[in-house]
Amino acid sequence: MRKSNPKPVNISLRIAIVMAFMLCCFVVIVVQAFKIQVQGADFYLSQGEKRHVREVEIPVSRGAIYDRNNEPLALSTPMVSVGVVPGKLLDQFSKVEQLAEVLDLNADELKQIITSRKDRKFLYIKRRITPSLAESVKALNMKGVEFRTEFKRFYPAGETLANVVGFTDVEDVGQEGLERTYDNWLTGQSGKKTVVKDLLGQVVADIDVDELEPAKPGKDLHLSIDRRLQYAAYLELKKAVYLHQATSGSAVVLDVKTGEILAMVNQPSFNPNGSREISDGLRNRSVADIYEPGSVMKPFAVVAALESAEYTPQSVVNTSPGEYEIDGFVIHDFRDYGELSLVDILVKSSNIGVAKLVLGLGKEHLWDVYHRFGFGQASGSGFVGESAGYLPHHERWRTADHAALSRGYNLSVTTLQLATAYSVFANKGRLRPPTFIKGNINEDKAIIDPMIARQLTDMLAHVVNDNEGHKAFIPNYSVAGKTGTARVAENGGYSDKYISSFVGFSPVSAPRLVVAVSINDPKGEDYYGGLVAAPVFSEIMKTGLRLLNVPADQINRTLVDNEKDLNSDTGVTDAG
């Protein structure tokens, strides 16, 4: 058989075919690349911007504040804030004008901000707007306008608790009151997550991965304040300040058993949900304002006398002839009371009586008593901005200063300090620092003998009960307390203005509440503590005893409403 020879392979042809195929592919790729990079650049760029993976902050709510009965006092609600990426708006000034119109902003100023801050990545232009307004802005479909969730603080109790709770600034940081005191407790920690955003900066999808940083909400705060009692006390104080055309006023209610502050009210106040212009209304006067208190300090001078063992409640001091000169200064009583027991010295509010008591004692002893009761020191409440008051050291006292301190001059106190000090008598001689936090009870300590505390309680009960028609009287409840009417120091001397006060507790048989009231510069003839502050005390105390269901201890006692002279306990001698 004869073998056939194979046809020779045309290598050149095959190479040409392969080269032609590769050339076609290259042409196709080049054409497609040209379409993508040149002709479709805007399309693909916009699509990339519309679907951009970014890290965003997870906003977190500030902790809420509640009263002791879980009634809300401060709450945060989510709101929409509008911001811009300035660099993306430089070629959209025609729309910037529309944006300014919708947000009620000045268009020229907004353009100036965008131009001058074009390198900024984000800039807020309107924060915490209403949902309807946010929808109007979104309808503009503007590139470079973004929306972020923020929280806005609301205060349901309004002005009744404004000075105590305080408020936050635009960054939700506590600025005044308990919002500032407990800012670290209330402030949460924002988290981070990965999302997909569109061209308008709106989140279109969350990426299904674990959060980069988990959010930690702020912790809630439960106050000792009783909103019901707070409201009642606020109305009574506001009514009294208006009635007497006073400059300001404060009132504090303490629970004797726990030291919890159940109410703290001030005038003037402000609306924390509205404008917060800097004014006197922002200040919590109960803890920040100091003043010379007058005769409400006399019980502490009597404590010093009883501790010396030289006096008993029945010891007699001669106050005749109603005038007493010390280092060229003359002290006056309302009238010549003659010989007075220590009980009657408080009932009559005798300036001469307490002056003679303390001048027979050492200066250091009286200073020590005042210091033990907390005067010249912060109360321990922890409130930011609380004043310690002023108690000069006994080494600097002249004889006249020694006597003046016995009747509440030459030292300064706050209304909270007075309430805390009087709670010692009601708490069997034990001082417990006050607290704003429910259940956060501070440890108490014995500062005077329980027998002396009982003796002072009985004496202070006589102050109210021995004066028929006393304005601090409460039907069916026994009351112990003391008035004060002190001249206001101005320009190196004493003016014709007064601080009118009353501090007391009830019921005497088992004290539950202490109420301190001070009213600054009441106008007119009624400026005495017994006529201005005592009625406020009575109304606040009645409400407090009712709300706490405290049993009455003097059933069927009749209030004698007459026009008899209220003696010096109305505050007449306190002004001397």
Catalytic residue positions?
295
Closest to 484 (Cα-Cα) out of 502, 464, 470, 469: 502
Q: In whole angstroms, what is the distance from residue 345 CA to residue 304 CA? A: 14
Peptide bond into 321 cis (omega under 30): yes
Tokens 């002290």 belong to residue: 331
Q: What residues pair up with 206 in beta bridges, in sequence order?
A: 195
Element (H, E) at 455: helix 450-465
* CB contact at 8 A, 512 and 479: no
Length of the chain: 576
Closest to 340 (Cα-Cα) out of 350, 326, 331: 350
User: Distance of CA 521 to CAs 280, 297, 324, 528, Å?
Assistant: 15, 19, 28, 10
Q: In whole angstroms, what is the distance from residue 207 CA to residue 503 CA? A: 63
Q: In whole angstroms, what is the distance from residue 168 CA to residue 74 CA? A: 10
DSSP letter for 441, please: P
Q: In whole angstroms, what is the distance from residue 430 CA to residue 504 CA? A: 16
In the chain, the amino acid numbered 231 is Y
Q: 3-state class of 223 per DSSP?
A: strand
Q: In whole angstroms, what is the distance from residue 365 CA to residue 374 CA? A: 15
Q: In whole angstroms, what is the distance from residue 484 CA to residue 493 CA? A: 19
* CB contact at 8 A, 358 and 304: yes
Q: In whole angstroms, what is the distance from residue 326 CA to residue 401 CA? A: 10
* CB contact at 8 A, 77 and 233: no
* CB contact at 8 A, 129 and 81: yes
Closest to 397 (Cα-Cα) out of 409, 383, 381: 409
User: Distance of CA 312 to CAs 25, 317, 421, Å?
Assistant: 117, 11, 21
Alpha helix (H) residue ranges in 140-176? 162-165
Element (H, E) at 44: helix 41-50
